[in-house]
Amino acid sequence: MGRTVIPVLAAACLALAGCSSSDDDTTEAKVSVSSTPSPTPTETAYTIEDCKALLESNYAADANTDASGEPECADLSRGEYVQAVTDVLTGHKDDIVADATDQVIYDEAWEALDPEAQATTCDLLDADGPEPVGFLLGQTVDDPSIDTAAMAEYLYAEKC
């Protein structure tokens, strides 16, 4: 029995080792096995940071729309998306408050004008654009903290 086991084991080892005759012209294809499958090129894993970067970019471009359907944000849960929006807006809260304060001042100045003066202001803005009108406003506004160029742009975009 001992003599039968040894040749069988030797044959099995040779078969497992992949021995072949040197006269054989065929080449064996080697197969490599990977422990993790390769991701497909179309799959991209986005994180909450990617979503925040998109929201920041949109904020800078003044394109503040719902981005929850965009690829960078689509896989986030509702809570994660709300957190991303909150983080971006919190980072700009001083700017947002300043803009709102300025708009209140601009609205009050507009409402102080009679309808004829409002129409004249819009005609000037249409004819000359916000920049020259902002310069003229700068000559008449007593408060140096008011950005009259921004005021003219606001009036042109929102009131005229």
The pLDDT assigned to 141 comes to: 85
d(CA 130, CA 148): 9
Q: Is the pTM of this model over 0.85?
A: no
**Which residues fall within 8 angstroms of residue 129, CB to CB, at 6 or more apart?**
156
The pLDDT assigned to 22 comes to: 47
Which sign does the torsion angle of CA 160, 56, 87, 150 carry? negative
Provide the b/e sequence for 22-44 (b: ≥16 CB within 10 Å). eeeeeeeeeeeeeeeeeeeeeee
Element containing residue 116 per DSSP (H, E): helix 115-128
- Per-residue pLDDT for the chain (160 aa), expressed as one digit of tens each? 444 333 333 333 333 344 444 444 444 444 444 455 555 555 679 999 999 999 999 999 988 899 999 999 999 999 999 999 999 999 999 999 998 999 999 999 999 999 999 999 999 999 999 999 999 888 888 888 899 999 999 999 999 9
The pLDDT assigned to 153 comes to: 94
**Which residues fall within 8 angstroms of residue 59, CB to CB, at 6 or more apart?**
88, 92
